[in-house]
Amino acid sequence: MVFANRLFPSPIAVGWEMWVLGTQANLLPDLGKTLLRAGLAFFIAMALGTALGIVLGRVRWLDRLFSAWLLVGLNLPAIVVAIVLYIWLGLTEVALISAVVINKVPLVVTTIREGVRSFLPAYEELAQALRLSPWRKLLLVFLPQLLPFVLAAARTGLSLIWKIVLVFEVLGSDGGVGYRVSVLFQFFDIGGILAYTGAFILVVLAFEYGLLRPLERRILRWRADPA
């Protein structure tokens, strides 16, 4: 055999390792911890980024004022933000989640801002001609145009968050998939690392195909090509 088994475990071996770690060790609590962090960071970043994106998309002078800051935010190395926050706030959940949010928000703001800028004035005119109340205008004209961009921001944002949460957990946390992978790395336990990675990927796929895509199909069913 060219490669040693220990470094290149078979899929069956990885699957077995996943089962053992899941039933007898900390795989599930670690996954839960990482998902909780990612979920919290995701919702905070989406809420904050959507609100800021709408404001910057609608108010031209604010957009001009903050566009340079947004550029800085988009290009700020994620690891620097995490290290600085860990120094300032200690190795805490708040520091970790804040670091993820700070890395994610500029991306959401940019996507939502572009979405708001792309709103068709024709529909605004229609809303005026129909004299829609602000609430009905929001429901019938504003949100439907915004939703495809919110979904795009959610998808790109999630892929970013999955990655950086793990990196930040490696850097400093007391549990979670990233933390456990870093521990397994100390022992060159490639089977364990791949088992954790596989479990994590399964969760991501379940989220994508079980939640995000059906939601997208439902929300965008009015399009000629919804998916």
Q: Which residues bind another protein (CB under 8 A)?
A: 122-123, 125-126, 128-132, 136, 140-141, 144, 221-224
- Least CB distance from residue 23 to another protein, whole Å? 47
- Least CB distance from residue 227 to another protein, whole Å? 15
* CB burial readout 129-167, b (16+ within 10 A) else e: eeebeeeebeeebbeeebeebbbbbbeebbebbbebbbb
Residue 103: alpha-carbon gap to chain centroid? 10
Pinpoint the alpha helices (H) of the chain.
11-24, 27-58, 60-75, 78-89, 93-117, 121-129, 134-137, 143-171, 177-186, 190-207, 213-219
Q: Which residues contact 88 (CB under 8 A, 6 or more apart)?
A: 95
- Least CB distance from residue 138 to another protein, whole Å? 13
Query: By C-beta, is 77 or 121 nearer to another protein?
Result: 121
- Least CB distance from residue 222 to another protein, whole Å? 4
Query: By C-beta, is 68 or 221 nearer to another protein?
Result: 221
